[in-house]
Amino acid sequence: MTADKRRYIVTAIRGVLVLTGAAVTVAVLYSLSTMPTASSSGDSFVRGLSYLFGSVFFVLALGGAGLGIALPSLLGAEDTLAFDRWQRRCLKGAGVLFVGGFVVGLVVGLLTQLQFGLLLWLVAIVLGVLVVSCVLVWRLFAVFVTALVRLIAAETGE
């Protein structure tokens, strides 16, 4: 497979993961925020289940978007966001949390009870999303500092 074809495939998969994750996240947040209030007739159980499943879908959608951002670092492909070496290492760690959390959660769920494995996997996804978010903020800050240094250098004539 040529490098251009591989880059195209990775970019397409990344785009699908990030856009789908973002769209599902927004849709879940909108549906949970516009849910009618519970009446006193006792439908709080159904409402609680909808919040529980909505939260699980929210975490999974964020995990999909985070995996999409970390995907080029996991595969060793070129990244258009130009992460540096340490940022790519952090993204690889987030990818290990996403994929490894699933494997460990599955094993724990099969050996003990399934809900413990699911909880472990969801916690790993949340940690992975936090790592990806921190790396994105780190990269944004690096771009800001680089632009500021260039602006100052242009102003002083250096």
pLDDT of residue 123: 93
Long-range contacts of 12-17 (CB under 8 A, 24+ apart): 13/68, 13/71, 14/68, 14/69, 14/71, 14/72, 15/68, 16/68, 17/64, 17/65, 17/67, 17/68, 17/71
Phi-psi region of 42 (alpha: psi -120 to 50; beta: other; left: phi over 0): left
φ, ψ at 46 (rounded to 5°): -65, -40
Domain count, the chain: 1
- The token pair that represents 122 in the structure block: 């969801």
pTM > 0.85: no
pLDDT of residue 38: 67
Could you tell me the residue range of the domain that residue 72 belongs to? 3-156
Rounded mean pLDDT for each run of 10 residues along the chain, 158 residues in total = 79 90 92 78 75 88 89 80 87 90 92 91 92 92 92 84
- Cα distance between residue 119 and residue 126, in whole Å: 11
